[in-house]
Amino acid sequence: MVKKKGMRLSFCKGDMLVIFFVTMLAVLIGVVFLIWTGRDRGNTVVVYREGKKVQELPLYVDGEILIENSYTNKLVVKQGKAAIVESDCPGMDCVHSGWIQGKGRSLVCLPNRVEIRIEGEEESEVDFIVR
């Protein structure tokens, strides 16, 4: 294509309508995305010690909990995830388990007889099915 000097780009009414609808669609998708990512607000981190519920913390609230029994575990909840970051138990498998998120996930410290579960309304994602 050869550009001619002095040519200006002009929009007609149809072009403006298309731009308007594309912009509205982008805004709608953004709002739906924000609502969809806020769905973890119903989930809670529940701490069980020797099978009994001892503490609860909303998953969307950042915080720390010290769990004391035979040993001490430090549970951290941050950005919708939970992890045991410090422990004085032998082996420290609970610390090496890393971060969990999503309903149905859990962390366990066997020497301290502690289980941390994420409970709530969100459906958990299936990792795999064995038949």
Q: Which pLDDT score is estimated for 125? A: 57
* pTM exceeding 0.85: no
Question: Taking phi first (over 0 means left), then psi (-120 to 50 degrees means alpha), and beta for anything else, what does residue 106 get?
Answer: beta
Nearest to 60 by CA among 82, 34, 35: 82
What single-letter DSSP state applies at residue 97? T
Rounded to a whole number of angstroms, the CA Rg of the chain reads 25
* Beta strand residue intervals within 1-131, DSSP E: 44-49, 52-58, 63-68, 72-78, 81-87, 106-109, 114-119
**pLDDT tens per residue across span 72-113:** 999 999 988 999 999 999 988 999 999 998 888 999 999 999
